[in-house]
Structure 1
Amino acid sequence: MSLQSRFSNSLNSLPSTTQRIVIALSGGLDSSVLLHLAAQYHKSHPQLDFLVVHVNHGLQAQANSWQFSCQQQAEALGISFAAEVVDVEVGARTSLEAVAREKRYQALAKYIDANSCLLTGHHADDQFETFMLALKRGSGLQGLAAMPPMRSFAAGCLLRPLLSATRAELEGYARQQQLSWIEDPSNQSLEFDRNFLRHKVLPELTERWPQWLASTQRSVQLLQESVELLEELAESDYQTLKRKQSLCCKNLLLLSAKRQRNVLRYWLKLMGWAYPSQAQLEQILIQASAQQDAKVAVTLAEGQCRRFQACLYLVRKAELLESELVTDWSLASTPILTLPNCSQLAWLDGGKLLPPSGTEQVSVKFRAQLEQKEFSAAGRLGSRSIKKLLQESKLPPWQRNRVPFVFYDDVLVAIGDIFIQKGYVCPHNKGITLSWLPTY
């Protein structure tokens, strides 16, 4: 089957709701062939909106001339063009390749909505390199499955229509069509692992076993099927374990160790968190089986995995922020107040809290600033310690130091949206209602 036919079949598999095709164009061989094939496809599918996006990393002296070359390529084929300039800053223990890739996808994501698809020029040689790098890192099935032909991306999807073609095939097509492309000098540097695999390892393997790339592709496809089966099992387990935004520890521990790890990875992925290391997974499982009163937490890149009332929670860094600032609140001009700890406090007409008089100053404090230890909550006999009330509220421990305390002048009238001071209850729900959102 011709390269154009394989490309067309790949695009024909897109959801029927797809309205725009975004082509990632670096100007190299792969993306230049991708653009040419896309332009041919566009002729028979004029109802689709095509856009070329070039990401300028500024890493080479020729970066701006490459951007101009890409613009010329797109315009010559009658396709709209956009460029994104990004700054690539490499810190300690970070890879230039990884940072540049992350910045590139962040820039491309701006153009992908629910009805859009991003096309990239990844091919079979890239798939081999991704597989080998995952093998070097000791990755599990997810890593060894390398790059799927299609996946979700931003609000839409990402499609790799050239994944079944070798680089040699792309080069043959480019020469046949008399295409020109950019040669990035960094692609020759053996300092980068991908280049070492490309220039040293793959040629040796192909010389010894000419069908090596095809065999690798078949193996990767089988691995991808295995990943899909594991995800189906994880989804089934997750439906059994989930409790709103948490997982039930008791039911989790009834599963085999393998299924425990599988569903935890699925949960983290579902919540948009990075895959944890094996050591982190083991720590989460230890936390799930710890004594009920144990205060345990596992730190991950995005925040912490915490346990509360026999359930596991993923708590983002923003939800762990505390504050020692006092914030004045003008209810008349600010119905929704953003607090220093990245939570929000809002008020609505109608409710049990007596609104402030015109002369009272409304302010918000936090637990660390309170001198008051007792609070007389509406609906409770006498007064109780604030600590005890927060425990009784079933508020998770990580939120108890973040909950806002609302004052009228020097009087504490409400604890978040949980408790109201007895003397500030408005009859017949003709007061106001407070609403606290721990994160926004």
Structure 2
Amino acid sequence: MLIEKKTQEILYKYKKILIAYSGGIDSTVLLYNLFKLRNKYSLLLRAIHINHNLNYKSTFWMKQCFLQCKKWNISFIYKNIYIKHKNNIEQYARKKRYQIFKNIIYKNEILVTAHHLDDQCENFFLFLKRGSGPKGLSGISKIKIFDNLILFRPLLKISKKQIICYAIKKKLKWIEDPSNKNIKYDRNFLRNIILPKITTRWPFFKNAVIRSIQNYKEQEELLTDLINPILIKLIQKDNSLFIKPLYNFNIIKRNFIMRKWIEYNKYYYMPSRKILSIIWNEIVCCKNHNTPQIKIGQYIIRKYKNYLYCIKYFPNLQKNTILVWDNINIPLILPNKLGKLIILNLNLNYKKESIYIRKPHNNEIIYIRFNISEKCYFNGIKNKKNINYIWKKLSVPKWKRDQIPLLFYNNILIAELEHKLVTKEGIASIFKKDNFFIFWKKIY
């Protein structure tokens, strides 16, 4: 058994296992080990095979994987990926794979992959090539949690040589993908050209790399422990970063704090020194009234007053965006993954989180708009006020205002649903049968 005792105990703890099964030697050995451990630990196994459609044999390989799983009585799932990009194929394929994993993973199920010791060394060199610091050079973790996905790598301390010897000894059959020899891909170049030459000259080089990885990991953990008391004070409840104290820090400390804050916001690709410099000089230190921003992957870094925000990128909702709510008995799905609106009965669990308004009359159409500047009498405010004025008083950043649903009956603004602002025209009457609650169920 290649999976050591302590690692087996982790599998026993989780029970439900989704195995990323390509059919190659690494994932075949992993699948076989889990198959052998299934009865011992009452594991519930599923295998997911992702066909990248990059080789004319890919459908045949998928069938081989299916037959192998059928032989071992393991539930088999397969999905297709079609890659149109000619650049960054590896990165694009990885992103698509993890989107699929996230979509099919069961509750309390963990994703298990066949990353091994040689992968760890290759990753070290790839991050070194990018000029990474201790965070990047600390290698891939045995257990990683991201996007509500638990990723576990039970073979991380096992070398490729051990895996090959084990597969031959157990007479396992696996798929040989010729693209693994194509050195146009950086990882294959390292695997097939660079690392063999290094290890031929220095046989214990991989072990030395693993020691360096452990040192970097310890340094990163120590730095994080030292900076956490400051981060706790600077990071706000809405995950924004209070930037005023940063002016008093040196560039090294300041950059580390910004990196940690970006990581805290669940952004997994750390910004380079150049990006951090742009964030500081062009966003934090910007003196004009514009709202400069920088897009990193799917996220945007921007400033509002004395705070930095790291927010998921979505296109602005235009003023002409109108969502008609024809049937209020059915939840209304909002754009940009903002969630959905639900009409609730008077006997409800979300009363505090809901907004209480009057029902529309028979001749009134109910709909949602965004990014509208309306002057109204809001409940609790004596004078007629523009909604942008209220948002400004509430310190709502401009980009957040654009994502706030505004409830209309015909052409009359009834309520702003984020801060539960009800207009004079939307106030619920004293007759409860004529009122209802609207609950905005957000996606976090």
Q: What range describes the TM-score normalised by the shorter chain of this pair?
A: 0.7 to 0.9
- 1:357 and 2:361 correspond: yes
Which of 117, 122, 127 is the aligned partner of 1:129?
122
In the alignment, what sits opposite 2:306?
A: 310
Change (3 A) 1:377 1:138: same
1:304-323 Cα shifts (integer Å, max 9, x gaps): 22322422222322384334
Structure 1: which amino acid aligns with 2:308? L
- 1:116 and 2:109 correspond: yes
C-alpha separation between the residues in 1 aligned to 2:102 and 2:420? 40
Structure 1: which amino acid aligns with 2:161? A
C-alpha separation between the residues in 1 aligned to 2:26 and 2:121? 15
In the alignment, what sits opposite 1:82?
A: 76
Which of 317, 320, 345 is the aligned partner of 1:321?
317
- 1:249 and 2:253 correspond: no
In the alignment, what sits opposite 1:188?
A: 181
C-alpha separation between the residues in 2 aligned to 1:220 and 1:332? 56
- The alpha-carbon deviation at position 209 of structure 1 amounts to 0.9
Alignment of 1:32-431 (within 5 A): 32-45=28-41, 47-76=42-71, 78-91=72-85, 94-113=87-106, 115-152=108-145, 155-245=148-238, 246-273=240-267, 274-286=269-281, 287-291=283-287, 293=289, 295-318=291-314, 320-330=316-326, 332-334=328-330, 336-339=331-334, 343=338, 353-368=357-372, 374-416=375-417, 417-422=419-424, 425-426=427-428, 431=435
- The alpha-carbon deviation at position 80 of structure 1 amounts to 0.7
Identity %, equivalent residues: 28
Structure 1, 110-119 or 97-106: larger mean CA deviation:
110-119
C-alpha separation between the residues in 2 aligned to 1:270 and 1:144? 19
Q: Secondary structure at the match of 2:14?
A: coil
- Structure 1: 5+ residue stretches without partners: none
CA contact (8 A) 1:323 1:402 kept: no
1:215-269 Cα shifts (integer Å, max 9, x gaps): 1121112222223333434544332212211222224445543333333323323
Change (3 A) 1:353 1:198: closer
In the alignment, what sits opposite 1:29?
A: 25
Q: Secondary structure at the match of 2:10?
A: coil
Change (3 A) 1:114 1:142: farther
Change (3 A) 1:415 1:429: farther
CA RMSD of aligned residues (A): 3.3
1:290-311 Cα shifts (integer Å, max 9, x gaps): 4495533333322322322422
- The alpha-carbon deviation at position 413 of structure 1 amounts to 4.0
- The alpha-carbon deviation at position 141 of structure 1 amounts to 2.0
- The alpha-carbon deviation at position 62 of structure 1 amounts to 1.6
C-alpha separation between the residues in 1 aligned to 2:208 and 2:387? 66
Structure 2: which amino acid aligns with 1:191? K
- The alpha-carbon deviation at position 426 of structure 1 amounts to 4.4
Structure 2: which amino acid aligns with 1:128? C
Q: Secondary structure at the match of 1:168?
A: helix
C-alpha separation between the residues in 2 aligned to 1:113 and 1:261? 38
- The alpha-carbon deviation at position 202 of structure 1 amounts to 1.5
Q: Secondary structure at the match of 2:49?
A: strand
Change (3 A) 1:114 1:358: closer
TM-score, structure 1 normalization = 0.84
1:379-408 Cα shifts (integer Å, max 9, x gaps): 334434444334234322223344444444
C-alpha separation between the residues in 2 aligned to 1:342 and 1:112? 20
CA contact (8 A) 1:345 1:437 kept: yes
Structure 2: which amino acid aligns with 1:68? K
C-alpha separation between the residues in 1 aligned to 2:319 and 2:33? 55
CA contact (8 A) 2:344 2:437 kept: yes
- Structure 2: 5+ residue stretches without partners: 347-354
CA contact (8 A) 1:318 1:439 kept: no
C-alpha separation between the residues in 1 aligned to 2:345 and 2:308? 36
Change (3 A) 1:182 1:319: closer
C-alpha separation between the residues in 2 aligned to 1:16 and 1:234? 35
Change (3 A) 1:341 1:429: farther
- The alpha-carbon deviation at position 130 of structure 1 amounts to 1.4
C-alpha separation between the residues in 2 aligned to 1:433 and 1:111? 34
Change (3 A) 1:30 1:426: closer
Q: Secondary structure at the match of 1:243?
A: coil
Q: Secondary structure at the match of 1:178?
A: coil
C-alpha separation between the residues in 2 aligned to 1:111 and 1:356? 40
